[in-house]
């Protein structure tokens, strides 16, 4: 199962790099979101996908699951949501002011496309 999760994380990384290399600001934002999801899957698979009881049950469980990777992923989800919200607000404001989401036009480079 870990191999499948690593492959899916790799596909998310590849899709995010493809999206982040485009000229549209919205695609770049979607690419950063995909990158964060790939990172979450990578952290989960690095922690190991084990079956066991929660560590708060006491000493009677046969095996325990480490809660640290899950706590790290939860923290990373909250941080990536906040960053995505801020980036979306900045992109919306830039679109209101300049009327475009093309990165070349936002930089001031004239294109004939």
Burial bucket for residue 9 (CB in 10 Å: 0-12, 13-18, 19+): buried
Q: How many domains does the chain have?
A: 1
Q: Is residue 8 part of a domain?
A: yes
Q: What is the CATH number of the domain that holds 84?
A: 1.10.287.3510
Instruction: Summarize pLDDT for 28-51 with one digit per residue, the tens.
Output: 999 999 999 999 998 888 877 777
Q: Is residue 112 part of a domain?
A: no
Average pLDDT of the residues of the chain: 86
Burial bucket for residue 78 (CB in 10 Å: 0-12, 13-18, 19+): exposed
Q: Is residue 57 part of a domain?
A: no
Q: Is residue 33 part of a domain?
A: yes
pLDDT at residue 79 greater than cutoff 90: yes
Instruction: Summarize pLDDT for 85-101 with one digit per residue, the tens.
Output: 999 999 999 899 888 88
Domain carrying residue 19: 2-52+64-107
Q: Is residue 79 part of a domain?
A: yes
Q: Is residue 7 part of a domain?
A: yes
Q: Is residue 113 part of a domain?
A: no
Q: Is residue 20 part of a domain?
A: yes
């Amino acid at each position: 199962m870990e191999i499948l999760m690593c492959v899916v994380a790799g596909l998310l990384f590849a899709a995010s790099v493809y999206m982040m290399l485009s000229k549209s600001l919205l695609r770049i934002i979607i690419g950063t979101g995909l990158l964060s999801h790939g990172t979450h899957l990578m952290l989960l698979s690095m922690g190991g996908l084990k079956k066991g009881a929660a560590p708060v049950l006491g000493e009677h469980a046969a095996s325990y699951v480490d809660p640290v990777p899950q706590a790290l992923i939860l923290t990373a989800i909250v941080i990536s949501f906040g960053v995505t919200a801020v980036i979306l607000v900045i992109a919306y404001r830039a679109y209101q002011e300049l009327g475009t989401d093309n990165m070349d036009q936002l930089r001031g480079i004239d294109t004939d496309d």
